[in-house]
Amino acid sequence: MTHVTEWLPRDCGQAPEPVDVRLHAPVPDVVVVRVGGAIDAAAAAVLAERVGQQYRRACHVVLDLTDVTHLGAGGLRVLRELLRRAALVGVRLHLAADHRAVCRPLHLAGMGTAAVLSPSADLVVARLVCRRSAAPRLRAQAPEAYASRRFATQLEMLLAAAVEEPAARLVPAR
């Protein structure tokens, strides 16, 4: 695990506030970037650099914002740019946050739907590991079995929709 703490100067003469960035690769192709402190305009540049470096390292980057105390406009701009760059290079950027200091600005900026927001980085990693362990089993099955399973799933969805519809809508009008 890599631990980087950067002290960023403030223009207003206050003591510098640390931005804590920790990198961790729990499984191959997944990097968790844990961020702590306030993400304002000065800290956003550090965040953009550290997360951007991980795009060459893994196909899934989990940005853990659970220890972020403040998400400013500069941080929102950088998150939007990170999501855009991740899509361009074919990397999936997952955001993890569970408190108002991060979730509210994301939703107000309209990024709550653009980015899949999970309550914890551990949950994202667990989902990715489960998907990875299920993928070889699906590929190993015969194509007919996969096709029949897909057909069965589509049929179940149609049946569920029919059950939810009122009976009057199912009978054609004369």
Q: What pTM value is reported for the model?
A: 0.68
Determine which of 62-71, 75-84, 148-157 has the lowest per-residue pLDDT on average: 148-157
State residue 34 phi and psi, 5-degree precision. Answer: -95, 125
- Tell the CATH superfamily of the 2-136 domain: STAS domain (3.30.750.24)
Q: What is the pLDDT of residues 16-40, one digit of tens each?
A: 457 899 999 999 899 999 999 999 8
Tens-digit pLDDT profile for residues 43-74: 998 899 999 999 999 999 999 999 999 999 99
131 or 129, which is more confident: 129
In this structure, the strands spanning 117-118 and 92-96 are parallel
Tell me the mean pLDDT in the region 64-93: 94
Q: What is the CA radius of gyration of the chain?
A: 22
- The secondary structure of residue 38, as a DSSP letter, is E
- How far does Cα 153 stand from its chain's mean position? 27
* Residue 115 binned pLDDT confidence (cut-offs 50, 70, 90): low
Per-domain residue ranges of the chain: 2-136
